[in-house]
Chains A and B, each alone.
Chain A
Amino acid sequence: MTLATTDNVIAAEPSLLVRMMRMLLADKFALSAAIFLLVILAIAIIGPSWLGDLATKQNLRGRNLPPFDWTRTWVWWMGADALGRPLFARIIVAAQNTLMVAAGAVILSSVIGTVLGLIAGFSSPRTGQIIMRLADVIMSFPSLLIAVIVLYVLGSSILNLMLVLAITRIPVYLRTTRAEVLEIRERMFVQAARVMGASSKRILFRHILPVVLPTLTTLATLDFAYVMLAESALSFLGIGIQPPEITWGLMISQGRQYLTNAWWLSFWPGLAIILTTMSLNLLSNWMRIALDPVQRWRLEMKGGKNG
């Protein structure tokens, strides 16, 4: 066993990026989801500067224009809202605010929640108790009530909205993480690391966190949809996003009073939310398998057959 052969063997294995791409190609659902999310992301970045004017210009003669009127230009294909603004353009423009609030809130709450959960599960029982009781306090308030109070006091802006939504969602991650940590810290490989002299920080981040992470990503993608809808509820109460700014949630609630005679007002933004969260779910499901060395073969095998 010389070293030269070793290096050859290891070099023959494709790099992680190549393997990931192959596994993504093997799962057609995850691939379409990834493409869809990339498109949404691109739209979110260029949307407002591209169609911003068109999306806010009123056209009272085109009020509640029905969709599928192919004679007009494409922005009108989804119909128009109560003030005659093209829905297609509005959805594209709204993508930025929606994704920013939702992604911001989800990332913020999941990071804070996970870190606190790791600490609560791994440190002394007393610290753990204090963190858990704090979480209980947040949980016991109706989350919309906190949001109303905070936004009323601080004034509504996208950043405040993001913060408020994040705070109300922290306990979800905190409790899940803590419960998992309590179980994983007793596992043999954690003991083995301790015997080797690994520091608590290393055990937490190198051994425990990777095992908890799949659960948390699944949770986060589900939360994405929840946050989008919570944001629309706040916007509906008039303390969330303020017109003329738009989000998908706000569009749904604006269309609510026309549901009986102009369904498309709420339908298209609703569809956008559904497709986005579904794509996220599919992608996170793929990621859970792709990142787990024990499960990975399922995707690699499929890829082999297709190729």
Chain B
Amino acid sequence: MAEHLLEVRNLSVEFHTAAGVVHAVKSISYHLDKGEKLAILGESGSGKSVSSSAIMNLIDMPPGRISGGEILLDGRDLLTMPAEERREVNGRRVAMIFQDPLSHLNPVYSVGWQIAEAMTTHGLAGSKAREEGLRLLRRVGIPEPERAMRKYPHEFSGGQRQRVMIAMALALRPDLLIADEPTTALDVTVQAEVLKLLKELQRETGMAVLIITHDLGVVAEIADRVVVMEKGTLVEAGTVREIYKNPQHPYTRKLIAAAPGKGVMHEPGARAEPLLSVRDVRKTYGSFEALKGISFDLMPGETMAVVGESGSGKSTLARALLRLDEPDSGTALWKGRDLFALSPSELYKLRRDLQMVFQDPTQSLNPRMTVFQLISEAWVIHPDILPKARWRERVAELLAQVGLSAEHMSRYPHQFSGGQRQRIAIARALALEPQLIICDEAVSALDVSVQAQVIELLDKLRREMGIAFIFIAHDLPVVRDFADHVMVMQQGEIVELGTIREVFETPRQAYTRALLAASLSPDPDAKAGCPEPPAADAEILIPKRSH
């Protein structure tokens, strides 16, 4: 079996926690050949990261324990190898890049120093290492590599940091690169560029790539083969095309069906009296203009999607509308009254009509309150909505409405999964019987299949209760099935505003087209285009060292 570069055989990993033994990975086997790109696809808790951490010897033992199996690299078992040799393998033969480069780069050393360190640790002279580091930075497309060498991690953007991480990983020309959710934290256009870079580098060096992701689009974009994991077991393996066109396992089918952007597009109804009419809202932080004159109308019961990359001002807009931050100028007429001019007591009454669902339900629910307390707090604050005797009954109703059961009332938020927590947050927003709910990236932190369920829930609420939504997202496909209108924002300005059909089928602006093109399709035959990267002098990496 020596022809496989990496072979994982019957690997089992368990964690000893106070709640008992958790079998994170249950006897999985897969292999990877030289120059191959394998994706491990799975949702959170599927064990996909644990299996790759085992390869890099990154599992904390205890509480973790590799309870069985072997990991063969060129036929040699990594798990029985002496620690000294194992370290030699890490970095030199196998390198890894992580999801969040900011937390994996040391903030107190310059980037150049950190790239060189990887090489000097494995016995390269300092000056040589520096030279090599410079070449790598240039190759991964960092502008002004000379200066970049002396900069610190916080001075780079997210995409650039990920490029720096890739440069570090490639420093020793590994045979295998493990990428753990390499683009999850990045904007769509940046994600497309980083994936393109990874593909190019893979072609040049002929290294094998093991990419761990929850995103079918990433799989379709980069991988040759894919293994699908669910709850620690490997449910399906095959080429990307096979899996997408002809999934065998029900879980894989569910995952593929959950990918957004396939449903029927909404057609907005006739124009009526707007519920909310925003005119020329501006907000600056110091000299930074976060909002440069935003204007739009929202009809009752309608959904306005606000799409933009990080820093486009979409969250600032939401916070301004709710008066969490005071805007500098502009008006927002809510049924004819200006939200920005309300006194605190008038604002308090209006809070009932405007609610918000936040991005991360783990943080937006007070960890020390039970579900009952969380939801009924709305009625403590606004006592005229509901008499106290009916609270319990109404909480049960609301929970049923969002797909939870009344027994959940006395539990605390940490006892729920991410999707359930977001349902609780939605139930809390509904408790005030609002007419407009602002969802700030309300589904971005959720797994794809959960995301689909939450969007379905929101859609149901809209149909049944006529609630209007402002739905903020960084990803276009997510909003396609749900919104009536889309507003594309870039650097504090509205780039394009139109109905879903207009924006998706005939985008007028180059930026919108770039955003649409950068969204990854889960269909491997519909390869996403990529906006041309800035012309970097494409220097070819030195051919791979033979061993």
Contacts and interface: CB of A to CB of B under 8 A. Distances in A.
Chain A interface, >50% SS class: helix
Contact of B377 (A9, A187, A193): A193
Given A195-B355, A197-B381, A294-B414, A1 B364 contact: no
B150 interface: no
Interface string A13-34: 1000000000000000000000
Given A196-B378, A197-B382, A294-B412, A1 B324 contact: no
A10 B409 contact: yes
B358 A6 contact: no
B19 A301 contact: yes
B410 A13 contact: yes
A197 to B, nearest CB: 3
B377 A198 contact: yes
A292 B324 CA distance: 29
A195 B400 contact: no
Nearest to A211: B368
A153 interface: no
Given A1-B400, A196-B355, A189 B363 contact: yes
A200 B352 CA distance: 17
B351 A191 contact: no
B414 A202 contact: no
Given A189-B364, A192-B356, A293-B412, A301 B392 contact: no
Given A6-B392, A297-B19, A195 B322 contact: yes
B396 A293 contact: no
Residue of A189, A198, A206 ringed by the most chain B CB atoms within 10 A: A189
A196 B363 contact: no
Interface string A66-88: 00000000000000000000000
A6 B406 contact: yes
Contact of A210 (B360, B368, B370, B406): B368
Given A191-B364, A196-B432, A301-B19, A202 B412 contact: no
Interface string A164-192: 00000000000000000000000111011
Nearest to B412: A293
Contact of B405 (A1, A189, A194): A1
Given A1-B406, A202-B381, A293-B414, A196 B364 contact: no
Interface residues of B, number: 39
Contacts of B396: 1, 3, 6
B358 A192 contact: yes
Contacts of A197: 347-348, 351-352, 381-382
Contacts, number: 86
A195 B367 contact: no
B18 A297 contact: yes
A5 interface: yes
A207 interface: yes
A294 B367 contact: yes
A298 interface: yes
B301 to A, nearest CB: 21
Contacts of A198: 377, 381
B464 interface: no
B505 interface: no
B365 interface: yes
Nearest to B404: A1
A198 B379 CA distance: 10
A5 B407 CA distance: 8
Nearest to A13: B410
Contact of B364 (A188, A199, A206, A301): A188
B121 interface: no
Nearest to A195: B356
Interface in B333-382: 347-348, 351-352, 354-356, 358, 360, 363-368, 370, 377-378, 380-382
Interface string B380-404: 1110000000001100100010000
Contacts of A189: 363-367
A191 B406 contact: no
Contacts of B425: 192
A187 B414 contact: no
Nearest to A213: B368
B323 to A, nearest CB: 9
Interface in A288-305: 292-294, 297-298, 301
A219 B428 CA distance: 35
A294 B363 CA distance: 13
Nearest to B360: A188
Contacts of A210: 368
A198 to B, nearest CB: 5
Interface string A266-292: 000000000000000000000000001
A187 B365 CA distance: 10
Interface string B404-438: 01110110101000000000010010001000000
A188 B414 contact: no
B18 A187 contact: no
B405 to A, nearest CB: 6
A294 B367 CA distance: 7
A292 B400 CA distance: 27
B410 A10 contact: yes
Contacts of B363: 187-189
Q: Which of A10, A195, A207, A301 has the most CB of B within 10 A?
A: A195
A5 to B, nearest CB: 7
Contacts of A199: 381
14 contacts: A3-B392, A5-B407, A9-B406, A192-B365, A195-B355, A197-B347, A197-B381, A206-B377, A207-B366, A210-B368, A293-B367, A293-B368, A294-B412, A297-B18
Given A189-B367, A196-B378, A196-B428, 8 more contacts: A3-B406, A6-B409, A9-B407, A13-B410, A187-B363, A188-B360, A191-B324, A191-B358
Interface of A: 1, 3, 5-6, 9-10, 13, 187-189, 191-199, 202, 206-207, 210-211, 292-294, 297-298, 301
Interface of B: 18-19, 322, 324, 347-348, 351-352, 354-356, 358, 360, 363-368, 370, 377-378, 380-382, 392-393, 396, 400, 405-407, 409-410, 412, 414, 425, 428, 432
Q: Which 4 pairs of residues, A with B, have the shortest CB-CB distance?
A: A197-B351, A188-B363, A293-B412, A188-B364
